[in-house]
Amino acid sequence: MNEAFIIRILLAALLGGAIGIEREYRAKEAGFRTHFLVGLGAAIFMILSKYGYEDVVGGVVRLDPSRIASQVVSGIGFIGAGCIIFQRHVVRGLTTAAGLWVTSAIGLACGSGLYLLATVSTVLVLLCLEGVSILHNRFGAKQISLTFSAPTREGIREVLDSIGREHTEVLAYEMKTHRSQDAETYTATVRLKVKRNHYQSRIMSFMTEFDGITIDNLE
């Protein structure tokens, strides 16, 4: 029986780690180690819940095997909540939090001895994460924030007209005037939507295209 338990926790750790590698590759909040440990821990809790108290009842009476495992489902929410970030009116980390949640479910399945279910579930998770990423990179768009300064209003308008021409959509912008004893400076903050397959080229063009324009912030 001990050998079977070892196989279960090893498979849970490996399947969780496989999901974590994908998250690590995408530079997400939770990576390989977190998913590895979640899968491993969930499997151990499932084994404890099913078999950990047989010596107490003499192997005759079986306690409810879901009593500990059910707490994993709610407990994993605390870890997932730590991955969710609300920044600049955008919620980030929901997919990673959901990945941790399903990784715990895969670990519980391994702990129950449902190897095929756990393996197929892992394959489906990876297909979802990677498949959607490929589609996003090909057809999707990404929002970025650009803050730049110019000595004249005409310079600001020139930049706004230019960045909205190719593969870029201006969602919103705000312009402020800074006055000093010597001169005035105009600062604009622009929220852009850029097609993902042109994202890198547009970033480089922002940095090099405009003379006399200072890029203050680009994220």
88 pLDDT band, cuts 50/70/90, is low
Check residues 34 and 154 and name the one with the higher pLDDT. Answer: 34
Task: Answer whether residue 42 shows pLDDT above 70.
Answer: yes
CA atoms within 13 A on the CB side of 80: 17
Residue ranges and CATH numbers for the domains of the chain are 2-139 (no CATH), 141-218 (3.30.70.260)
- Residue 193 is predicted with a pLDDT of 74
Question: What tokens does 113 get?
Answer: 């001895």
Those residues whose C-beta lies under 8 Å from the C-beta of residue 47, and which sit 6 or more positions away, are 5, 8, 9, 111
- Residue 173 is predicted with a pLDDT of 75
199 pLDDT band, cuts 50/70/90, is low
Question: What tokens does 103 get?
Answer: 């990784």
Q: Looking up tokens 């190719």, which residue turns up?
A: 166
Task: Answer whether residue 44 shows pLDDT above 80.
Answer: yes
Q: Looking up tokens 């959509």, which residue turns up?
A: 169
Among candidates 36, 31, 47, which has minimal Cα distance to 13?
A: 36
